[in-house]
Amino acid sequence: MKSSSNSILGAISKSKMVLAIVLSISLLATGCSAQWISIALADLPVLTQMALNIGTIVATLQSGKQISSTDATAIQNISEQASKDLNLLETLYNEYKANPSASALQKIQSVIADINQNLPALLQAAHVGDPVLSARIAAAVNLILTTVASFATLIPQTSTRSTAQTMAHPVVAIAIPKASDLKKQWNQQVCGPTSNSTFDFSAAGCTVR
């Protein structure tokens, strides 16, 4: 009888241990999920403001007849495409947060892939005449691209990714900049003083606050 009682107590103890492990894993998974979503949702409004500010810069310079209409149109296309894609990405992150699903995750990955394809193509096609302006627009686009690419590294791996694939192509951890760091980088790299006073963007709606 004593032996039976001990067996039951042992079984209960093991069950509690298993339950505790399962709960711990569940909490860790939830925490990771919350983290990768919250980081993106904190940074995306800043990135969208950056994209909009590219357009503000161009409008200001164009109104002063400091750049050609061709350059203005090319840069405005970058601003509009980036703004549209980033707004969509933020919407999808919010949808996934409210209702997690494989299809929602796939949509996020698809938009990130589109951003990585669309913006470099538009930047390459822009052919901005002034080298200072060209370098600043390139810095703006690259900051957006590198940040969005860093989001992709946080996305949970799908079950379709095999162990062999993971070993062959391990996910490399990338430091994700905080919103305050993004603003600082943008204001230094894109809006800081230039060698050409014509393109000193400090008063042209460039700064992100």
Residue 180 to residue 199: CA distance in whole angstroms:
24
| 130 φ/ψ angles, rounded to the nearest 5 degrees | -80, 125
Cβ atoms < 10 Å from Cβ of 190 = 24
pLDDT at 73: 93
pLDDT at 129: 85
pLDDT at 205: 75
pLDDT at 147: 95
Residue pair 180/42 in contact (Cβ under 8 Å)? The answer is no
pLDDT at 193: 82
pTM of structure? 0.75
127: left (phi over 0), alpha (psi -120 to 50) or beta: left
pLDDT at 209: 87
Residue 158 to residue 38: CA distance in whole angstroms:
19
Can you say how many angstroms the Cα of residue 202 is from the centroid of all Cα atoms in its chain?
A: 25
Residues of the chain whose pLDDT is less than 50? Answer: 2, 4-9, 11-32, 159-173
Question: For 186-206, how does the pLDDT look when each residue is reduced to its tens digit (9 = 90+)?
Answer: 999 998 887 776 667 655 678
Q: Which tokens is 147 given?
A: 């940040």
Residue pair 46/183 in contact (Cβ under 8 Å)? The answer is yes
